[in-house]
Homo-oligomer: A and B are copies of this chain.
Amino acid sequence: MDTHRFALLGFGNVGQAFARLLMAKSDELLTQLDLNWQVVGIMTGHHGVAINPTGINLESALAMIAAGDSLDPLSAEPAPQNGTDFIRACNADVLFENTPVSYHDGQPAIEHISTALSAGMHAITANKGPVVHAYRELTKLAQAHKRKFFFESAVMDGAPVFSLWRETLPAAELQSFRGVLNSTTNLILTLMEQGKTFEDAVAYTQSIGIAETDPSGDIEGWDAAIKVAALVTVLMGTNLQPSDVERKGVESLRSKDIQSASADGKRWKLICEAERTDTGIATSVRPELLDPTDPLYNVMGTSSAVTFYSDALGPLTVTESDPGPHTTAYGLLADFINSVR
């Protein structure tokens, strides 16, 4: 049995959750799936770089990060200080790309993934950027090298969306979808329904670490638009940029709107939609007032959901509750297993 050598580029919340999951699932991977692994490289944002061809002890790495220390002492050799050099130096079989990504151009993740695939590694990421900006190029590159470029966690964390269509719904054509895909705004709207002001709700989402210091990407609907673009690009066969999505965020909604909807038994949600039309694919992100009978009405807090309309089945809805770094990490693990089995 081969040992699959992993390079972890990015070791923040998700990278660390992935390391913990790998340790927890190690026996199961070996006994049930005949999969052995070792981490031969970790590059962090601010805590150094370690490369060790005989394997890095993940417990030590996690402890050092928790203590605020650098991983440099774990390195068996002087390690390169930039991403592409790190990838080439690792001599790994799989790259897990979890660096902060620019949603504007998908870099540097695209370059990292492209370097890994060209070097014969599978490339797995939770980043939406490379999906939106380079899905077809990277997929072609992966095919040319008989490797996989997978990104299950890019939308709805580890809940199966991309693999759902790739593996379980073959020969089905996606005609449209409609969903609640941004956890931060959905939690904001939930908190406002419970009585918080918009500002307090935003502050709370920042305090628990799910909204950025500048929360405009969520609030103005950009994150949702990027997810719509990723789903359309991958599942509907048409490249779509986030700026192509008709977009209105939740910034105009105030407590009185939420309370008045609530008094009528209704609820505002930031709804993502895409639909094939005669001329292409119409997409939008915008607040909608939902009746209690709407399948998305009960998607509360950080939960997300999407209803798929296809030529094969009736409406099929996938709902994910209680997401977190551990569920994103599970998506990375599932992608790895599906890359090699």
Contacts and interface: CB of A to CB of B under 8 A. Distances in A.
Nearest to A294: B298
Given A28-B171, A298-B297, A317 B318 contact: yes
Contact of A32 (B157, B171, B292, B305): B171
- Copy tally for this chain in the complex stands at 2
A17 to B, nearest CB: 12
Interface string A34-68: 00000000000000000000000000000000000
Contact of A159 (B295, B307, B316, B334): B316
Nearest to A324: B314
Interface string A288-320: 000011010110100001010000111111111
Determine the interface band of chain A, counting residues with CB < 8 A from chain B: 35 or more
A338 interface: yes
A305 to B, nearest CB: 8
Nearest to A337: B170
Given A313-B327, A316-B318, A333 B171 contact: yes
Interface stretch (A161-169, A201-209, A213-221, A279-287): A161-169
Interface of A: 25, 28-29, 32-33, 152, 157-160, 163-164, 167-172, 292-293, 295, 297-298, 300, 305, 307, 312-324, 327, 330, 333-334, 337-338, 341
